[in-house]
Amino acid sequence: MPTEQPLIDTALVRRLVGQQFPEWSTLPVKPVAFGGWDNRTFHLGDRMTVRLPSAARYAEQVAKEQRWLPILAPQLPLPIPSPLAMGVPDEIYPWPWSVYEWREGETARVERIEDLTEFALTLAAFLDALQRADATGGPLPGPHNFHRGAPLHVYDAETRRALLDLEGRIDVNAATEVWEAALSSTWRMPPVWFHGDVANGNLLVENGRLSAVIDFGTSGIGDPACDLAIAWHLFEGESRKAFRDARPLDNGTWARGRGWTLWKALIVAAGMAGANESGVDRSWRVIDDVLADHREWA
């Protein structure tokens, strides 16, 4: 096995596909427009994609998606990724990888969405269906999904370090109150399915409407509060209210949802997580919105 980080490019993908799936070896390979961070994604012909983990910490997600996505798909009202094959490591690329059906659509941006409130309701219905899906034997929180679905205490030290770093730039007292409210609440129901990364880049839009939900790498069963972060990242005003009203969740779960959202926004704003300039700018806005939401609903 190689000890250095492999270069993930079209040449690598062509070689892996040619060696392991020769029936597809003549199909063209090219990077997708937005290839993601945890994985690198490439078109394989017109109707398939190849998805390769970019680091060892994402490798466990491959087998998880291969096993569970076909089980979840019939229980959900929107398309999700459909695995077609799983590749194996070789002497250059050290992790398993996947071939999927290609899903049409563009990543969700406000300007691409015809009616943001309708979009919010459609997403809420999808997440409710996911939460109702049979969770028997599903993957519990752990390193494979960076502890999504687990109690927030796992990120307590990191969050408090970010709060110290941001002293004087945000209302640290208010942010600490939001964080401690999240820590004081617990999911007391049986574990349920959650996506784990309901973000703009994992929601596809066609003709102005939500058409598919992709990238279940951080999915699992447990507390679904982490799936509420999209309320502050994409929605506002009427669309956020519609999303909240459509989710049958108690105040404690919303408090933990604010906690998950605040943790990520704080570490990005404090420079503790890699992000481009637009991501940092968005984190400042998300922090303000979460604090305002806490004042209104706590």
Note the pLDDT tens digit of each residue in 35-91.
667 899 999 999 999 999 999 999 999 999 999 999 999 999 999 999 999 999 999
Cα separation, 70 vs 207, in Å, equals 26
- Check whether residue 82 and residue 158 sit in a common domain: no
Whether residues 251 and 221 fall in one domain: yes
What pLDDT sits at residue 275? 66
Q: Would you say residue 4 lies in a domain?
A: no
Same domain, residue pair 93 and 133: no
Residue 2 falls inside a structural domain: no
For the chain, how many structural domains are there in total?
2
Q: Supply the pTM of this predicted model.
A: 0.95
Tens of pLDDT, residues 106-145: 999 999 999 999 999 999 999 999 999 999 999 999 999 9
In a domain, 1, yes or no: no
Domain end, chosen from 59, 85, 101, is at 101
Do 87 and 124 belong to one domain? no
Structural domain boundaries, residue 47: 10-101
Residue 282 and residue 160 share a domain: yes
Clarify whether residues 183 and 291 are in a common domain.
yes
**Residue the block writes with tokens 């998880």:** 64
Q: Are residues 67 and 42 in the same domain?
A: yes
Residue 220, pLDDT above cutoff 50: yes
